[in-house]
Amino acid sequence: MMSRLCCQRLLWGWLFVLFTLAFGATAETASDERVVPAAAYIKDTGRALTFSEIQALPDNAWRYLGTEAISFGYDTTPYWLRIEIPAGTGDRLLQIEYPLIDDLQLYYVTADREPIYYQMGDKLPFLERPVLANSFVTAIPYDHAHVAYLRVETSSSVRVPLYIWPANSFHAAQGPLNVAVGLYFGVLICMVVYNLFGFVVTREPSFFSYSVYVIFTGLLMSALSGVGFRYLWPEFIWLQDRAIVLFGGFAFVFATLFITQLLNLRKNGPNWHKGLVILGAVAGFIGLASMLLPYSFTIRMLLAFAVIACSYVMVLGVAMWLRGMMYAQIFMLAWFTFLASIIFTSLGYLGIIDGQFIQRYAIMIGSGIEVLLLSWVVTLMYSEERTQKLEAQDDALKHALEAQAAQRELNEALEARVAERTAELEKVTTSLQRANTELERKSHEDGLTRLFNRRYFDERLLQEFHQAVQQKRPLSVIMVDIDNFKPLNDTYGHLIGDDVLVAFAERLQQTASRVNDFVCRYGGEEFVVVLPVTDANAADQVAERLRSAIRSEPFTSDAGKLTVTASFGVATHTAATPMANAQALLKAADSALYNAKSKGRDQVFRVLASSE
């Protein structure tokens, strides 16, 4: 039983490690791609300035911020921002990365044209946003340099982190972030299901109170991150306006109940128990007050209460530790992590420290660690109680063993029980292995074409390149792009386009049929074929075979048979013509693909080394 519990805890721990790594990857991607525009601001103390009046103000009326972080703490006064949008090409997006703003009015202004106006904020239904994202995002309408005016009014912390993104980079950057957030909530759901199952099996009340606490914690995190408004209550404005305080208050109500049961405070610390009951009552009052009082008032109550309550629980944990409770150390570490995240978050919301990442994700990371550690404490507590019961049973059995017949019966019962538990453990282990295998497969699979996805390609290419360098073997990469795919999509629609992508992928997979070759979907209508131990001439032949296979037979779709061609870029790493790294090899293949496209499409273009 204990080994099974340890395996499951280890699994949750690894999931959380993956979660934090995904956040790191997201932050790195974002810092490379997005641009912070320069801005200036005016505080509309009288709440009377109109857009026309703002436009007419002279430059010296504005307070220039440049690219500094825009944060004014808790202030219900409206602010006007003048944002300098630099010139750029292609589709671009303006992102306001803080999801808890009540009202945003955005005007894009350029000479000789009427301003383009957007109204956003979480006082409006989620589906009315110009771009459906957890934060506030709009398309930038002009390529030339121009000015945008933004009016901000909110009862929350006035934080306006502004970023300009290339549209494709923005959407690509959301992938790792969504995976990380999804993994976080997946861990919470697993914790809830696991502990509810523990409650059903053992009838231990701490399992149930812990599960409800995790549910409210998850709802609180979904409100803070914008996930809740996007997926759970996109039309429920009343709940969106109160969710943080409401769920935060009730989360601590059930936290006090759980702590009381976990540490058996009615017996081990009656005075501590009274203090915890008072804190639970205050938390419940704050949660109920959020339904009646303004958010700007109740959020301050909640933040101040959270720091005090978590500090009290920390001291309580130290006291129980000094009394010799074996799991009090882990309990204290869990609440210390959560307290630290709350303190950082509170300071960020109050504008005392800066850091959008801290404000949005510190409490999420802290709560994730706390949830895992507290679940471990519950397991230890149950294990200790079970061990005590088994020891008592052993003492009783030693006396019963004086009778030979009773001893044989006891041994047979114990053997049967061990066999039953062993069978259960094998069954659970097998199920877990199957689930892990399926999860690993799906994480590496493109959802549409069933080919390997970009994530698998990036990992595998690094491995193959490293082996090719170590073993001095050639390695070739073929970049493939469907010719004129956008006109096909525009003419026949995205469903037909998807059918063509699936059929195209199948034909590539069937043609590149060697055991070590692998085909991946790189993105959109681009694919990559990696050919280990393949020199330039052989790779050229494979590319020609792929090209012929694509153009030789039209693709069948609901719109009839469609003739499709593709362009191929081939790059090869050899000991004689080495590439600097895997990215250089991929870049060379992409450059070759560009040449194939520019020379008329439906052809193969090859480069041997990065110098060509």
Q: Give the pLDDT of residue 601.
A: 92
Contacts of 163 (CB under 8 A, 6+ apart): 30, 34, 35, 36, 37, 94, 95, 97
CA distances from 55 to 37, 138, 149, 303 (A): 19, 21, 8, 38
pLDDT in tens, 424-441: 777 766 666 665 656 665
- For residue 537, how many other CB atoms are within 10 A of its CB? 12
Tokens standing for residue 437: 């295998």
Q: Which residue has the higher pLDDT, 519 or 31?
A: 519
Cβ atoms 589, 543 nearer than 8 A = no
Contacts of 567 (CB under 8 A, 6+ apart): 480, 481, 483, 593, 596, 597, 601, 602, 603, 604, 605
3-state secondary structure of 110: coil
Q: Give the pLDDT of residue 14.
A: 42
Does the structure show a pLDDT above 50 at 611?
no
CA distances from 289 to 213, 322, 508 (A): 19, 37, 61
Question: Is the domain 34-160 a CATH 2.60.40.2380 member?
Answer: yes
Question: DSSP secondary structure string, 527-542?
Answer: EEEEEET--HHHHHHH
Q: pLDDT averaged over the chain?
A: 82
Q: Work out the average pLDDT over 214-219.
A: 86
pLDDT in tens, 529-562: 999 999 999 999 999 999 999 998 998 888 888 9
Q: Work out the average pLDDT over 68-85.
A: 90
What confidence tier does 350 reach under pLDDT thresholds 50, 70, 90?
Answer: low
What confidence tier does 10 reach under pLDDT thresholds 50, 70, 90?
Answer: very low
Q: Work out the average pLDDT over 587-597.
A: 94
Q: Give the pLDDT of residue 402.
A: 73
3-state secondary structure of 137: strand
Q: Which residues pair with 445 in a beta bridge?
A: 452
Q: Give the pLDDT of residue 410.
A: 78
Q: 334-373 burial by CB neighbour count: b if 16+ within 10 A, else e?
A: bbbbbbebbbbbbbbbbbeeeeeebbbbbbbbbbbbbbbb
Q: Give the pLDDT of residue 4.
A: 42
Q: Give the pLDDT of residue 7.
A: 42
Catalytic residue list: 525
Does the structure show a pLDDT above 50 at 9?
no
Does the structure show a pLDDT above 80 at 381?
no
CA distances from 52 to 56, 154, 482 (A): 6, 22, 49
Q: Give the pLDDT of residue 408.
A: 79
Tokens standing for residue 303: 């933040």
Q: Give the pLDDT of residue 459.
A: 92
Percentages helix, strand, coil for the chain (3-state, rounded to 5) are 60, 15, 25
Query: Alpha helices of 129-166 — where are they, by DSSP H?
Result: none
Any idea which fold 454-607 has? Alpha-Beta Plaits (3.30.70)
Instruction: Give the relative orientation of helices 237-263 and 295-322 as an angle to the nearest 10 degrees.
Output: 10
Q: Give the pLDDT of residue 329.
A: 66
Question: DSSP secondary structure string, 456-486?
Answer: HHHHHHHHHHHHHHHHT--EEEEEEEETTHH
Question: DSSP secondary structure string, 255-317?
Answer: HHHHHHHHHTHHHH-HHHHHHHHHHHHHHHHHHHHTTTS-HHHHHHHHHHHHHHHHHHHHHHH
Q: Give the pLDDT of residue 213.
A: 82
Q: Work out the average pLDDT over 127-148.
A: 92
Q: Work out the average pLDDT over 140-150.
A: 94
How far is it, in rounded angstroms, from Cα 119 to Cα 490? 30
Cβ atoms 341, 301 nearer than 8 A = no
Q: Work out the average pLDDT over 127-140.
A: 92
Q: Work out the average pLDDT over 200-229.
A: 84
Q: Give the pLDDT of residue 5.
A: 45
Q: Work out the average pLDDT over 335-347.
A: 65
pLDDT in tens, 356-377: 555 556 666 766 676 666 666 6
Ranges of each domain in the chain: 2-26+180-392, 34-160, 454-607
What confidence tier does 152 reach under pLDDT thresholds 50, 70, 90?
Answer: very high
Q: What are phi and psi of 451, to 5 degrees?
A: -80, 175
Q: Give the pLDDT of residue 481.
A: 95
Torsion region of 416: left, alpha or beta (phi above 0 gives left; psi -120 to 50 gives alpha): alpha
pLDDT in tens, 477-490: 999 999 999 998 88
Q: Which residue has the higher pLDDT, 610 or 490?
A: 490
Does the structure show a pLDDT above 80 at 65?
yes
What confidence tier does 405 reach under pLDDT thresholds 50, 70, 90?
Answer: confident
What confidence tier does 353 reach under pLDDT thresholds 50, 70, 90?
Answer: low
pTM of structure: 0.56
Cβ atoms 535, 474 nearer than 8 A = yes
